[in-house]
Structure 1
Amino acid sequence: MVVCSHFRESLPFETFTDADYSDHGGFSGAAPATDPIITLSVFSSESFRRRLPSSVMSLLPVSANRTSSALTTQRLLYQLSSDQLAIQKQYDQLSSGRRVLRLSDDPAAANRALGLNRSIDRGEQLVRNANSVSGFYDSSDDALSRIDNALIQARGAAVEGVETVISDDVRTAIATTVREAIQSVFAAGNAMFRDQQLLGGILNSDAAFQYDGNEIVYGGNSAVGRTEVGLGTPSSINVTAAESLGAYSMILEGDPLNASLDHATRLVDMRGGKGVTPGVIRISGGAEYTTVDLRTAGTIGDVADVLSSLEISGRKLDVTLLDDSIRVAYADGLAGTLAIEDSAGSTLAHDLSIENPGGFSAPPIIGDKLMPRVTTSTKIEDLDYGAGVDLSSGITIQQGQQTFNIDLSDVETMGDVLIAINRSGADVHASLNEAEGRVQLRSLRSGVDYSIGENGGSAARSLGIRSATETTRLSELGRGRGLVLNNDSVDLTITRPDGTELGLDLEGAETIEDVLTLIRNHPQNQDTSRVLVSLNQMGNGIELQAPPGAAPIRVSQNQFSNAGTRLGLIAEGESEAFGVMDGSVNKVAGVDYLPLEAGGALDTLMRLEAAILSGNEGEIGRLQSRLDEDLDRASGARSRVGIWSRNLLDMKAATETEIVQMKSQLSNEVDADLATVISDLSQRQIAMEASMRIIGQTSQMTLLNFL
């Protein structure tokens, strides 16, 4: 055994007896218990090494062999450098409080820490989002609360205003109360938070409502902001003026427009919007199948072009697009077998209704009911199932006392029609419901009536947006109050220029068409001097015309009936109307019998103010029910904000709890145990001191030390 006896005094090692050696697989020779020696390099038992203090472990291995001085010095300097680095690492842990300062310290823990840090950052961002959204909710609730209070106040004023015996001063005071409610709703509708409209659309910094004379114009948008405040669907941060005030209300949704197939009709627009999925089909003339890859087809024209270029069993195909179908046959027009099938995973032939497995049906194969939907790119010539419509005359929009004539003579697509309407200057917004192929018109101005009619042709009817037609029900007239008719007697009398009277009993009539039919078919109106009746060619309303005679046409309503007024033939407050000469005929041109109201809380309040000032009890009573609807709408919007706010608090609390838990896990992964670090540092310092002593003593050794 090699013993470095001169190290005995300087090394802080335990004293081992020979019993210790024998217990740990050491030499069998005895060793004096009072003579500690370094024999570390010859023991390999792990159980023995575990009994050594860390200060000893830091010195392993200390070579006891006869080596060169340079190698011994290099090994000892390496030992000293390792001790210095270990001490510096522990100093870093003490100063930072972190056990893992870099990935190399503990790669597994560092990887877990990175994931926890990302989750904590995301959670903290969600909390910041929640704090920001909470401000929107609180401000929105305040604005909606003011709207609720104003509508309740106006509802009370309407109840007072419907009294029959009220002085002018009292009536004016009641109307002033309604005016204050209008101002309150107007201000709440323009409420802002962080330079953004609360009700007028997110990211809109301008006032949503503005006065134009005595009328109010809505200039906001329907944009809704959303942000993530927890896991799941992003939460809305605002309600719109349409949801809370009924602004931007839809005043008209036109009749469905029917389009025909066109070479440029997109596959996604077919089958009523369900679409046709491009795929691979197989075609056979009775022998082998030809595979046709149509996965890149975008339009029905692409499908037709590819199929028309094929030769099946030496015969070319002829593919024709019809109004609502596609026809596949042989170009020579002769019969034969024409099998069309979908390849595995494809549904193209099935979607186009041209599937013909095994050639069971003889050509031509016709796939019908493809129903292309109407989009902004649909051509005007493709409307009405391909017959096209004539829009050259244009349409007329009556807005209060203003009339806007819209030129549609140059439009080519439905998108052009919408642009022409939206740029007309009228306070309406036109859009297209592509799912149903309907033109939608929304109002932007409160306090006025709207009317969409003709400008000398049939463009409005062709677009399905003429607001008053023959199908209008009589129960809809008078703003939903219908007609007041006499019991079993004449309700309306039309006196022709020749003096012939046409008495009309409207009992049983249900639509405007029924009224027109009664006039046309009246027994006293079948000669050459008959009264012709139709809808106005300009605007809306009923038009009566007859050859000139001794007196003009006269329309009168009898007894208690208000049929003439509600049909737009007699002015409000009058009992009769007279015709005027228009060229070679005598004519009564009625006004629109179905004016459209802008809708919404502000429109209701403005109409209520006017009705109270004029003492129109019937109108006040009608507007009371509308006020109830407006209040329900505003209260519903406020309720939604309250629910959002409650959910927001719950999600915020859950996120904050999750952040605390993740920070605790992060601390367990990367934070240092200060007690352990201090203990290890003390031992490292002892080990470093030992290393320095060894270096100092070995640097003085001579050859005699090894003899």
Structure 2
Amino acid sequence: MAVNPISLSRVSQGLRTNAVASAMQRSQLELYATQTRIATGRSFVTPSDDPVSAARALDLTQALQRQEQFQANIRHGDNTLAAADSAVTELSTLLIEATEIALRDVSNLIDADERAADAELIAGIRQQLQIVGNRQFDGRYLFAGRDTTTQPFVDALSGIAYTGDTGELITRMSDDLDVVINMPGNVLFGALSSRVESALDLTPTLTADTRMEDLRGANGRGVQLAQLLFHEDGGAGTFTVDLTNADTIGDVVTLINEAAIAAGSTLTAALSDTGINITPGGSPLTIRDPRAGGVAAALGIATTEPATTPIVGEPLQPRLTSLTPVEALAGGAAIDLLGGIVITNGERTQTVDFSDAQTVQDIINQINNAGVYVFATINDSGTGIDVFNQVSGTSLSISEGDGTTAGDLGIRTYSAATRLADMNDGLGIGLDEGQDDLRVTAKDGATFDLSLDGALTIGDVIARINAAAVDAGVSVTASIDPTDNGIRLVDATGGDGGLSVSSLNLSTAATDLGLTGSASGTETELVSEDRNPIRTQGILTALLDLEHALRADDTDAISQAAAKLDPLVNEVTRVQGIMGSRSQAMQQKLAQAADLAATTEIFLSELQDLDYPEAVTEMQAALMELQASMQTGSALLSLSLLDYL
């Protein structure tokens, strides 16, 4: 390293001193910088030392931090899956044990005492399964969905309620890859019922405040906002309407009208209950998209030929949302919210009042907070409300209060649309094909028979009964009971006998339809039992059913419960396979992430780590420079006039 020259010929003492001090300071700074690099082990200490390398090192450091976090995520996810897999293995073992007990007790050689003893064994297995369902890992419940702080399975209504959510835990394994690391209890245990699907389309009316993101659009694929092209032959010519900033459908109408005025057009846009209507301003009007299948088609106002008459837009199909006003439901049709609904789940019945509801969310909250362990939500298509039974081992029914609320909302569990195949816990109705299935005996003693061959719904059954009554000239009419969930038979014969229904031939239709009672004395109405309650079809329900069947010494019920267990064992095996494949994928990804992190560390080390031999050489040179500067400066500052004589 060169020593900075100091030229001191014919200068003042002060200037000479400053020059010497400056030279020494530069040498000291160079020495300090070299010593600092050696102390830190870095080739540069501040970004200003090497801006290009510093920027690159920052990128690599951030990448390394992400990679290390991904590795931590993967390890945690794999450990979570391992804990869940262990629990599922235990679950599978317990289920197989329960299945073996059920198959043994189907035999007629087993007496009531032995079955009662086995019922206790099944109760113990069920309790162990509940413990498995509430298994924790790292302080969080494995099978509670995303709500990992809430115990998922609790005793309720003489059954077991699932109080977790239906979401999945997701961990990020790389910048562009997320993976599920759990199995919600509602999936693994079948802890939620099949949904009470809304039987009616509650699609709301379109209002100016309807958000664009809440529209299914005329084509059912949503509305992607872009530009619209309007062309008037002989009028304002062609002008563009930019809809990219529209938030509501009202904004779209406003933007069209403003653009028309600015272009000198007299066309007008207006909102209907279902879509947008465009009235041409006297000149033939064409509306199109800059590209095919764009916003004009989605808004239902695209034209293929110039229009001179009003363009009536296609329905935009707004989705049901939590903020949808109740008066907008079902296209503005009058919905009775004053009558309320009656929810019965197991041993508990609750009347739910919607008289104060303003929005759909108010309705959902009232149902969910009724204290009967049901879960209501807007369906995936945004057309109605679905209700689930959260309790394994109980039956859920939703009927009318004092009006038609349940039917109007489409959530009554018994209606003319109820499928016969779904009744009796999915066992359906036992018919004798080709033969009459039912005999109705009126109070005056008159009878009529009917076949239910080909009947698919409760509505079909009612139609068959009424048609057979008319053909036989018997004054008996059938309908859905306005309050209770069942078929109502009304006898107008004036007799004093009993109104009853019985099965014929090999059919079990009367029993399966719940028409097992009779109306005698002054009673003129017979209402069937509700044979279409909603039940969960999972592991815990099957075990509870088996336990009850064993205690009742009911061979048929034991057989039915045993039949439910076998596919559940297969389902648990399938879930184990899913968890195993996820764990294997994680382990592979962990190895890849570790390799990538190691490579990043190498690049980062090459970029910022110090070359110690070179640095020591530089330090020695800087030290020699400083010493030389000090010696030279000392000699020069001691010069006097005599040195020049």
TM above 0.5, one fold?
A: yes
Hey, what does 1:20 align to over in structure 2?
none
Aligned-pair distance for 1:532?
1.4
For residue 617 of structure 1, what is the aligned residue in structure 2?
555
SS of match in other structure, 2:468: coil
Bigger shift: 115-124 or 606-615? 115-124
314-323 or 167-176, larger mean C-alpha shift: 314-323
1:546 aligns with 2:494: no
CA-CA distance at 1:399 after TM superposition = 1.6
1:601 corresponds to 2:539: yes
Q: Match of 1:539, SS?
A: coil
Does the aligned pair in 2 maintain the 1:196–1:202 contact within 8 Å? no
Contact conserved, 2:289 with 2:296, CA < 8 A, in 1? Answer: no
Find the aligned partners of 2:308 and 2:27 in 1 and give their Cα distance: 94
Give the C-alpha shift of residue 567 in structure 1.
0.8
Pick one of 334, 353, 362 that aligns with 2:300.
Answer: 353
Shift of 1:291: 4.7
Question: Contact conserved, 1:145 with 1:638, CA < 8 A, in 2?
Answer: yes
Of 337, 353, 375 in structure 1, the residue corresponding to residue 321 of structure 2 is 375
Partner of 2:602: 664
Q: Contact 1:553 / 1:579 at 8 angstroms: preserved in 2?
A: yes
Q: Which moves more between the two structures, 123-132 or 181-190?
A: 123-132
**Which of residues 280, 285, 289 in structure 2 aligns to 1:339?**
285
Distance 2:261 2:617 in 1: 90
Alignment partner of 1:157 is 2:157: no
Quote the Cα distance in structure 2 between the aligned partners of 1:680 and 1:410: 83
Q: Tell me which residue corresponds to 1:6.
A: none
The letter of the residue matching 2:300 is S
Uncovered stretches (5+) of structure 1, i.e. residues with no partner: 1-53, 571-576
Is 1:393 matched up with 2:331? no
1:370 is aligned with what amino acid? L
Farther off after superposition, 429-438 or 65-74: 65-74
| d(CA) in 2 for partners of 1:206, 1:370 | 40
Aligned length: 637
Residue type of the alignment partner of 1:445: V
Q: Distance in 2 between matches of 1:301 and 1:644?
A: 47
After TM superposition, the structure 1 = structure 2 runs for residues 495-510 of structure 1, keeping only pairs within 5 Å, are: 495-510=441-456
Q: Alpha-carbon deviation of 1:437?
A: 0.7
Contact kept, 8 Å, 1:250 with 1:440, in 2: the verdict is: no
- Tell me the SS of whatever aligns to 2:524: strand
Instruction: Give the C-alpha shift of residue 681 in structure 1.
Output: 3.6
Match of 1:631 in 2: 569
Change (3 A) 1:434 1:681: closer
For residues 531-542 of structure 1, the aligned pairs below 5 Å read 531-542=476-487
Which residue of the other structure, out of 235, 246, 249, is the alignment partner of 1:287?
235
Cα distance in 1 for partners of 2:341, 2:141 equals 34
Structure 1 residues 533 and 645: CA distance shift in structure 2, 3 A:
same
- Among 94, 111, 117, which residue is 1:173 paired with? 117
Which residue is equivalent to 1:95?
39
Indicate conservation of the 8 Å contact 1:338/1:356, yes or no: no
Within 2, Cα distance between the matches of 1:150 and 1:134?
Answer: 24
Deviation at 1:543, TM superposition (A): 1.4
Partner residue, 2:518: 578
Match of 2:590 among 649, 652, 661: 652
1:488–1:74 Cα change, 3 Å: closer
Find out whether 1:555 has 2:501 as its counterpart: yes
Q: 1:215 aligns with which of 159, 173, 186?
A: 159
Q: Given the superposition, is the C-alpha separation of residues 701 and 242 from structure 1 closer, same or farther in structure 2, using an over 3 Å criterion? A: same
SS at match of 2:532: coil
Match of 1:368, SS state, is: coil
Identity %: 27
Residues 71-99 of structure 1, C-alpha deviations (whole Å, 9 max, x = no match)? 55544444434333333344334433333
CA contact (8 A) 1:456 1:537 kept: no
Choose from 372, 377, 387 the match for 1:426: 372
| Cα separation, 2, equivalents of 1:662 and 1:381 | 60
Q: Which residue is equivalent to 2:58?
A: 114
| Native 8 Å contact 2:448 2:472 kept in 1 | no
Q: Which has the larger radius of gyration?
A: 1
Say if 2:205 and 2:330, in contact at 8 Å, map to a contact too.
Answer: no
**Structure 1 530/84 Cα, relative in aligned 2: closer, same or farther at 3 Å?**
same
Determine helix, strand or coil for the equivalent of 1:228: strand
- Tell me the residue number matched to 1:19: none
Match of 2:408 in 1: 462
CA gap 1:88/1:365 in 2 versus in 1, 3 angstroms = closer
Query: How far off is 1:428 after superposition?
Result: 0.9
Contact 2:233 2:284 in 1 (8 A): yes
What's 1:49 paired with? none
1:579 to 1:263, Cα distance in 2 relative to 1, 3 A: same
CA contact (8 A) 2:350 2:372 kept: yes
Once the two structures are TM-superposed, the CA of residue 449 in structure 1 deviates from its matched residue by 1.1
Could you tell which deviates more after superposition, 164-173 or 457-466? 457-466
Find 2:139's aligned residue among 161, 182, 195: 195
Structure 1 residues 617 and 338, CA, compared in 2 at 3 Å: closer, same or farther?
farther
1:185 is displaced (CA, Å) by 1.5
Deviation track 1:672-696 (CA, whole Å, cap 9, x = no partner) reads 3333333344444444444444344
Provide the rounded CA distance (Å) in 2 between the counterparts of 1:612 and 1:323.
58
Cα 1:693–1:260 change in 2 (3 A) is: closer
Q: In structure 2, give the amino acid aligned to 1:406.
A: V
The two structures, once aligned, show a CA RMSD in angstroms of 3.5
Following superposition, the deviation at residue 596 of structure 1 comes to 1.8
TM-score of the superposed pair, with normalisation by structure 2: 0.87
CA–CA separation in structure 2 for the residues paired with 1:439 and 1:567: 27
Q: Which structure 2 residue ranges, 5 or more long, are not aligned?
A: none
Q: Secondary structure in 2 aligned to 1:521?
A: helix
Residues 242-269 of structure 1: per-residue CA shift (max 9 Å, x gap): 2221223433222341536433344442
Does the 8 Å CA contact 2:162/2:186 hold for their aligned counterparts?
Answer: no
Q: What is the rounded CA distance, in whole Å, between the counterparts of 1:538 and 1:244 in structure 2?
A: 36
1:481 and 2:450 correspond = no
| Equivalent AA in structure 1 for residue 539 of structure 2 | A
Does residue 439 of structure 1 match 2:439?
A: no
Aligned to 2:581: 643
8 Å CA contact 2:156–2:391 kept in 1: the answer is no
For residues 315 and 198 of structure 1, what CA distance do their matches in structure 2 show? 64
Find the counterpart in structure 1 of residue 462 from structure 2: 516
Q: Is residue 207–residue 273 contact of structure 2 (8 Å, CA) maintained in 1?
A: no
- Is the contact between residue 236 and residue 265 of structure 2 (CA under 8 Å) also seen in structure 1? no
Paired letter, 2:29: L
Partner of 1:246: 190
Measured against aligned partners, the alpha-carbon deviations of 1:370-429 in whole angstroms (never above 9, x if no partner) come to 333333444444444444344443333222243333334454543333233223332211
The letter for the 2-side match of 1:532 is: T
**SS in structure 2 opposite 1:522?**
helix
* DSSP 3-state at the match of 2:312: strand
The CA distance in 1 between the partners of 2:603 and 2:270, in whole Å, is 69
**Aligned-partner SS, 1:599:** coil
Query: Structure 1 length normalisation: TM-score?
Result: 0.80
Q: Do 1:502 and 1:524's aligned partners in 2 also have CA atoms closer than 8 Å?
A: no
- Structure 2 CA distance for aligned equivalents of residues 668 and 294 of structure 1: 53
2: CA distance, partners of 1:686 / 1:503: 120
Q: CA deviation at 1:542?
A: 1.3
Of residues 602-611 and 639-648 in structure 1, the stretch that sits farther from structure 2 once superposed is 639-648
* Residues 366 and 512 of structure 1: CA distance in aligned 2, closer, same or farther (over 3 Å): same
